[in-house]
Amino acid sequence: MTDWHIEGEELANCNCNFGCPCQFGVLPTTGNCEAVVVYDIKKGHYGEVSLDGLRAAGVYYWPGPIHEGNGQMQLIIDTKATDAQCAALEAIMRGEDTEEMATMWFVYSFMSPTKHDTLRADIGLKWDIENRTGQATVDGIFDVEIRPIPNIVTGDPHRISIQLPHGFEFRHAEMGSGSAQTKGGEINLTFDATHAHLAKLNLTGQGVMDR
């Protein structure tokens, strides 16, 4: 099994209510799961292949809860990546060289028998985890914007975060409100003021690494 390690940041938006029922072992808000996610890799490797400074993204759709499977997924890899780096990121994000159920990438891939061809695109990203804001543009494929959850009474920014001591994605994430629209690729999704989160990632083929 090829050794790999990724440290970076994640910006995600899905179709469920704020907080995401999946994080609490509850069925999805509308019965199915849909999501767009952008990954900003600060430092990483796959064997001898460096992944430093690259970005990747994924578009996902399941007709029911993720754990029931029958999903679709499409990966997008930074145009800056070489062929070797693209192949490395595909392997990681398809759950290869990973212990069973150890990362969200393994789970997403295992539960998605339909894997559309990987796309290459410029990925623009800016975010502020402390203020729960972020924007990402995956050129020609999707745009996503994240802002703070508004207080239901005052409209002021409402801060909430989730701790997952034994999670397979992150240990801590800040919650937000996200809106996204796909405009290319094989999976069509639209979100408006639904669950979003921003998190720091530290992952290997054995799972989340504690800092």
Closest alpha carbon to 142 in 36, 8, 52, 51: 36
Count: domains in the chain: 1
Residues 6+ apart with CB under 8 A from 155: none
pLDDT along the chain (211 residues), means of 10: 96 95 91 97 98 98 96 97 98 97 97 98 91 93 96 93 94 96 96 96 95 64
Which pLDDT does position 130 carry in this prediction? 85
What is the residue range of 24's domain?
4-208
Which pLDDT does position 57 carry in this prediction? 98
CB hemisphere CA count around 106 (13 angstroms): 17
* Cα torsion angle, 169, 173, 178, 180, sign: negative
Q: What is the CATH number of the domain that holds 92?
A: 2.40.400
